[in-house]
Structure 1
Amino acid sequence: MSKSCASGILAALAYAGFSADHAYADGPFNFSPFSSSSSAASTPQQTASEPAKPPAQPSAAEPTRVRNDNPRTTSAGFDPEALERGVKALREITSSSHAKKVVKFGFFSFSILFVSLVAVERLKLEENWGCGFIRIYGILLVFEVIKKQEESRQQELTAKAAEFKAMQAQAEAEKQRVVYDEQKKLAQQQAQIKSQMARYEDELARKRMQAENEHQRARNQELVKMQEESAMRQEAARRATEEQIQAQRRQTEREKAEIERETIRVRALAEAEEEPMKPSLQRMLTEEC
């Protein structure tokens, strides 16, 4: 498909390059810059086999053509519109989407095609062959410029692709570095959190043990205090009991002494009462005996 597109574009280009009017001369024309085996061989055969025909008389309707002795330097033998059309066609080719296909078709294929076109065109060019050669050579140069531009564009695209790959590799490396840094930071944070949790658990265990020790100490102190208070109460009770016993003993001793004194008093009274009655009692006892 690319070859058909290129052929169509070349046909349009050739039509644009060779559709200009040319100035003709009377004598035959030999195109020395480009030699073709088929065309060069056919021309002598035609001249040898066919007799020389007299030049055709110009008709009255056709205007008299002016011979151009300097086709390369004067404006009479050079038609710039053809070259402008060729350049315009080349610009359309380069701006179209088939420019790469046309360049890929090959510069030498274009050269062969244009040489063939020159071989056909030289039958028409007569003395104005220089203008056609200039147009063809200019078109070839334009195609060479297009090829160079395409090569430079391909090199630029390759350089951009390499740069893009390098940037992509750098971005990937940067991404990997960022991921590694994030993972490293995360690992450090996890280790820090784990260390903080271990310290917090140790602190909690230490505080819990300290609280238990304080509670045990307070309980022990409370038990000691309770024991001391119990001992004090027991001692107070013992003292109170002992004092009570002593008081009862003293009371008993006092009562006993009182009883003894009372007994002695009563005995003394009884003896005192019995003393006057003693002779009578003895007399009564004796009487009874």
Structure 2
Amino acid sequence: MRALLVVNPKATTTSERSRDILVRALRSEVDLTVEYTKRRGHAATLARDAARAGIDVVVTLGGDGTVNEAVNGLLTAEPGAKDPAGGADRRPALAVVPGGSTNVFARAIGLPRDWAEGTYVILQALRAGTTRTIGLGRADDRYFTFCAGYGLDAEVIRRVERARLRGKVSTPWLYMRSIGVQYFTETERKTQLLTLERSGEADVPSLASVVVQNTAPWTYVGDRAVNACPDASFDKNLDVMALKVLRVPSTARFFAQLASARPALTGKQVLTLHDVGSFTLRASRPLSFQLDGDYLGERGKVEFVAVPQALRVVC
């Protein structure tokens, strides 16, 4: 079995020594090539080239951003392929060693948070030849594994990324503080700018902020899962949660429900949709947008599609 290990050298929870241990462990099971990412987007190129070269497994060591890039490389490796749904067997499998600060995707597929424990699970699965086939989401021309955000969610991630560039460490406190500062000082809270459009359904206008989930949870705060769409699943289409307004009382109620770990969000200012195959979000002016925790700039419109049975995962 041939495998490629894609290493993000800036992975926050591993060291050079731990990377060496991982390489030796993987080489005990597979014919391994190791590549280090050098820039944003490099993991996608490495994964795409590996798929075209007939590699059997792509292993990532990094956070959710590295995973997302690798997935996009794998899903775009077939020139001219228009419908990746159901094509998991044509692609290399993906194995994810958790090396970032949150590792939402790795934890969502059942891997331990610790990189060493995660490596053990992956080695056991490689020996047994077991994989799980999952669905993905696509936003315009980019695939995502667990979530997308349009509006406040993406604005917070943009603020966190800027803080990390200034040397701040990614912690739950950094995210909590960023939410508060963003909400009270920069976010447009008085105007609802988004419209949700679905074929055969009436448009839903006047939405303030939207989260799209391909699985649950939406994210983690430390060891605690945070769920905006608790019924979202890799085995179904996409789930949507939209805040209709961002007034202080309703927004505070929303975060209180998230913190209480209720099975579902309630309230007249919250819209939830389950198992949706495709839809479009249109903004009256460009708004912040993120995929899998990576800020991607501002968009005026995003088209979402569920892509079932798209990827084999070693777990």
The TM-score, its normalising length taken from structure 2, stands at 0.15
Structure with higher Rg: it is 1
Which structure carries more strand by proportion? 2
Name whichever structure is richer in helix by fraction: 1
